[in-house]
Amino acid sequence: MARSSADDMELKRACEAGILSKEKAPEQVVMCLRVAKGRGTWGKAGKLNSRHMAKPRVLAVTTKMKGQKTKAFLRVLKYSNGGVLEPAKVYKIKHLHKVEVVANDPSGCTFLLGFHNLRSQSVSPPQWTMRNKDDRNRLLMCILNMCKEILGGIPKVAGMDIVEMAIWAKENTTTKVTQVGTKDGPIESVVLEADSQVAVEKDLVSQAEEEDIEALLGTYVMAIGEAEAFSERMKRELVGLESANVYALMETESVVEEVLQGLEIASICVEDMDEWLGIFNIKLRHMREDIQSIEWRNNRLELQSESNVALIDELDKLLVLLQIPPEYEESLTGGSFDEGNMVKNIEACEWLTSAIKNLEASNMDPCYVKLRAVREKRAEFVLLKCTFVRRASEFLRNYFPGLIDFMLNDKGNFSQKGQLQRPDHADMRFKCRTYARLLQFIKSLDKSCLTPLRKAYCHSLNLLIRREAREFSNELRNSSKASKSSTPSFEGPAGANQPAGVTDSPGDAYSKMITNFIPLLVDECLFLAHFMCFEVGALDTSDSSNALTESNSTSQSTSEASGISVKPSSSSADLGVLNDCLKELLDGIQEDFYGLVDWAFKLDPLSCISMHGITERYLSGQKAEVAGYVQVLLDDLETRITILFSRFVDDACYQIEKYERNVRQVGVVPYIPRFSQLAARMEQYINGTRDLVDQAYTKIVSIMFVTLEKIAQVEPKYVDIVLLENYAAFQHSLYDLANVVPTLAKYYHQASEAYEQACSRHINLVIYIHFEKLFQFARKIEELMYNMSPEEIPFQVGMSKVDFRKMLKSSLTGLDKTINAMYRKLQKNITAEELLPSLWEKCKKEFLDKYATFLKLISKIYPNETVTSVNEMREILSSL
């Protein structure tokens, strides 16, 4: 059996410490036990229905001395967060009027303590559950004994038997032998001690009663020592007592009759009282039924009243949704759309939109959806919406053309003679933004009405933009100081077609046209997308070029000032509709750009280079999907410029290819210096990437080199002379440009290699013409050395020492005249005198190298023959 918490001294000390921390006067803890606290309700037959979770608590029975009186308390202690006991509640035992053991607890460990001084008897009292019955009996016996000692009585006990409690107390009481001192010496005294250390003092007598009993027994001699005499005595006394009782009964007969009569009268009164109580019970039952009926009707009336109040509130809310404010109804049905009334119109649109949305089935209680009033109001709101949208659409369809017509009639908006007018649509956009919110509400109310409005806006604005572009381009052509440029031609005499400056290039006019109109077109595309409520993304200007800085900033300010929210992405269907509107907006404007490009090409074909550069720069800066048609326009312009420039390059190549090939070429062909002039001028026009120019260089130079090879083949005798003179001229004319242009540098190196090869072939030819026997003899020696040793060669036919001496004498006799003749040969065929010194130096170097090779062969075959050395030959050449 587990140890009871009543014997836990640590728990007792913890309780004393917890009570002492709250109370000033000390209290003695008689008993303390751990319990579980629950909450229940009084049921029938004193039963308790539990519905609360049990909490750990400690019940402590304490006493406190106040003067001569002792006060008893029942304290409830709980555990704090730190596990320390602290007082939670205190009950005075003098207020205890009932102790009840819960019947529905099979263990019998749960009980209730009823106190008659509780503030609210309707609150269910706490129920206490012990660990076992022994702990329950210890605590209840302690409380009952305390009530008997201090109060002189015990409270009402229910749910347990007092006799069983007494039997339990007797069985669970231990005996304690103590020594008691008397006159005759110490004797043993048996003292009963309960396990709970609570004395069952109801079985003992007080000290005064014990003294009286001892005095009485001292005065009466019982003669217990004579058993027979004592027995006879007791018999006699018993007979005497019985006789006395019979006699007393006989004497009290009259009293008994009176008592019986009184009892009969009392029984009659009791029967009358029972009858009256029955009558009263019936009346009370009828009254109870009447009261219940009255309460039921009262409850129904209260419920009906609350329902009526709630219904009125709901109807008031519904009426707010169904009622049209007069000021909004006036604006929606017949109000003006002037700028001053737009605030009222926008407020009316906001109300109408929210009203229609509130009456949708998804936003209403299902019980209201089928109401007749709701259905009629919904139809009325739809009719009002259709009326307003029709009026607003009709107004805007007339407003846009009227606004554009006003601008078309004002000549100050267009370029005039001697004055270029930059197009400015700021005022028009400001007026249009007044109706931006109206367009938003038209889209939300009826999206199909936007299509005719978009067409009307695009058609009207297209007329304005096309006229602005036409007037601007005409004035650019009329006011331009550029005349027809003398672009270098590959036809005619070599000295004609000198390059002109590019200060008045027609490409400047194209640049002004692009600079003024491309940002305008981008702005109009963005404004159209935002103003006409297309769900498109905003312009991304993070990677735009510097040329579009002004355009992008204007576009951003336009989208911000319009007050229109822009979604991060657009659907493909909406983007397709937008592209159709943009095409209608900008259709036809490309003709003015094409005309300006053609005009510039006729005046100066090289202006295509600058026009291509600025077009490519603007094209790379277009990142917005809403400006896709502008990008298409720029793509077409770039393609047209490329085609025109390619036509110019093709014409140049054709002029080179058709050069007269049947006549012997003397000197440098004319197209080489003219190409250098053309390249120098083309470099001045570059205003962006070099791709277009480099492609032209590649095509023209390739044709030049191919054509030069064909021209040189007309007279095979002079092939090398023609090639070396023209390649030298090519290098000389393009030396400066080749240092800065990689493409020309590549062809410069190609021409240099071809020049060196032509020089080498021509010099070898001149040397062999004048020293033919010498080098033919050397060639024979080389051929013989493949098949025989050097010692055998002098014995061959024509290779003897005599033959060698004859050949040497014929070749080196009159060396001065031979070398002079070789120089005159070079001088005779070369038309470019500036090439002669370098060519002669190469000729001498080449001759000395060949002569040194000849001497090495001779030294192997004819070691003893005397021949002019290389140094002597070098001195002879240098002296001439």
Chain centroid to Cα 316, Å, comes to 43
Asked if pLDDT for residue 542 goes beyond 50, the answer is no
Q: Is the separation of the CB atoms in 483 and 504 below 8 Å? A: yes
pLDDT at 121: 57
Q: Is 844 part of any domain?
A: yes
DSSP 527-593: HHHHHTT---PPP--TT--GGGHHHHHHHHHHHHHTT----SS--HHHHHHHHHHHHHHHTTTHHHH
Q: Is 189 part of any domain?
A: no
Neighbours of 116 (CB within 10 A): 10
pLDDT at 236: 83
Confidence band for 560, pLDDT divided at 50, 70 and 90: very low
- Same domain as 147, residue 268: no
Rg (CA), the chain: 67
What confidence tens digit (pLDDT) does each residue in 783-815 have?
788 888 777 777 777 777 777 778 777 777 777
Q: Which of 181-195, 266-280, 374-388, 615-629 has the highest mean pLDDT?
A: 266-280
Confidence band for 455, pLDDT divided at 50, 70 and 90: confident
Q: Which of 472, 442, 444 is nearest to 454 (CA)?
A: 442
- Same domain as 128, residue 14: yes
Bridge-based pairing state of the strands 85-92 and 69-79: antiparallel
Least confident of 62-71, 176-185, 441-450: 176-185
Chain centroid to Cα 447, Å, comes to 31
Asked if pLDDT for residue 311 goes beyond 60, the answer is yes
Give the pair of three-digit tokens for residue 561: 């000032």
Regarding predicted confidence, which is higher, 51 or 513? 513
Q: Is 621 helix (H, G, I), strand (E, B) or coil?
A: coil
Q: Is 2 helix (H, G, I), strand (E, B) or coil?
A: coil
Which residues lie below 8 Å from residue 518, measured CB to CB, with a gap of 6+? 548, 551, 618, 630, 634
Q: Return d(Cα 288, Cα 290) in angstroms, integer.
A: 5
Q: Give me the number of domains the chain comprises.
A: 3
Bridge-based pairing state of the strands 187-194 and 173-180: antiparallel
Q: Which domain holds residue 270?
A: 242-274
- Same domain as 31, residue 148: yes
For residue 861, the number of C-alpha atoms closer than 13 Å in the C-beta half-sphere is 25
Least confident of 150-159, 241-250, 541-550: 541-550
Residue 545: φ, ψ to 5°: -80, 170
Regarding predicted confidence, which is higher, 486 or 288? 288
What confidence tens digit (pLDDT) does each residue in 143-170 have?
888 888 888 888 888 888 777 887 888 8
- Same domain as 264, residue 157: no
Q: Is 785 part of any domain?
A: yes
Least confident of 119-128, 191-200, 627-636, 669-678: 191-200
Mean pLDDT over 687-707 rounds to 87
Q: Which of 122-131, 427-436, 476-485, 639-648 has the highest mean pLDDT?
A: 639-648
Q: Is the separation of the CB atoms in 478 and 467 below 8 Å? A: no
- Same domain as 246, residue 162: no
Q: Return d(Cα 865, Cα 673) in angstroms, integer.
A: 54
Q: Is 493 helix (H, G, I), strand (E, B) or coil?
A: coil
CATH number, domain containing residue 13: 2.30.29.90
Domain boundary among 120, 148, 172: 172
Q: Is 76 part of any domain?
A: yes
Asked if pLDDT for residue 175 goes beyond 70, the answer is no
Regarding predicted confidence, which is higher, 545 or 364? 364
Domain boundary among 172, 199, 220: 172
- Same domain as 148, residue 19: yes
418 φ/ψ sector (left φ>0, alpha ψ -120 to 50, else beta): left
Asked if pLDDT for residue 668 goes beyond 80, the answer is no
- Same domain as 143, residue 30: yes
- Same domain as 159, residue 10: yes
Asked if pLDDT for residue 858 goes beyond 90, the answer is no
Regarding predicted confidence, which is higher, 310 or 833? 310
What confidence tens digit (pLDDT) does each residue in 404-426 have?
888 888 766 667 675 677 888 88
- Same domain as 131, residue 12: yes
pLDDT at 573: 65
Mean pLDDT over 372-387 rounds to 73
- Same domain as 147, residue 252: no
Confidence band for 562, pLDDT divided at 50, 70 and 90: very low
Asked if pLDDT for residue 35 goes beyond 80, the answer is yes
What confidence tens digit (pLDDT) does each residue in 589-610 have?
888 888 888 898 888 888 888 8
Least confident of 67-76, 666-675, 718-727: 666-675
Confidence band for 181, pLDDT divided at 50, 70 and 90: very low
Asked if pLDDT for residue 183 goes beyond 50, the answer is no
Residue the block writes with tokens 């400690």: 58
Mean pLDDT over 825-852 rounds to 80
pLDDT at 61: 92
- Same domain as 159, residue 265: no
Percent of the chain with pLDDT over 90: 6
Least confident of 218-232, 275-289, 504-518: 218-232
Q: Is 29 helix (H, G, I), strand (E, B) or coil?
A: strand
Q: Is 682 part of any domain?
A: no
The 3 state secondary structure assigned to 318-351 is HHHHHCCCHHHHHHHHHCCCCHHHHHHHHHHHHH
Least confident of 449-458, 536-545, 820-829: 536-545
Mean pLDDT over 171-197 rounds to 43
Regarding predicted confidence, which is higher, 560 or 531? 531
Q: Is 16 part of any domain?
A: yes
Percent of the chain with pLDDT over 70: 77
Mean pLDDT over 316-344 rounds to 69
Q: Is 107 part of any domain?
A: yes
Asked if pLDDT for residue 496 goes beyond 50, the answer is no
Please state, rounded to an integer, the average pLDDT across all residues of the chain: 76
Confidence band for 447, pLDDT divided at 50, 70 and 90: confident
Mean pLDDT over 134-138 rounds to 89
Confidence band for 342, pLDDT divided at 50, 70 and 90: confident
Mean pLDDT over 1-9 rounds to 66
Q: Return d(Cα 324, Cα 384) in angstroms, integer.
A: 11
Domain boundary among 147, 172, 197: 172
Chain centroid to Cα 694, Å, comes to 47
Q: Is 253 part of any domain?
A: yes
- Same domain as 247, residue 165: no
What confidence tens digit (pLDDT) does each residue in 291-306 have?
999 999 999 999 988 8
Asked if pLDDT for residue 1 goes beyond 70, the answer is no
What confidence tens digit (pLDDT) does each residue in 388-397 have?
778 887 888 8
Asked if pLDDT for residue 178 goes beyond 60, the answer is no
DSSP H or E stretch at residue 487: none
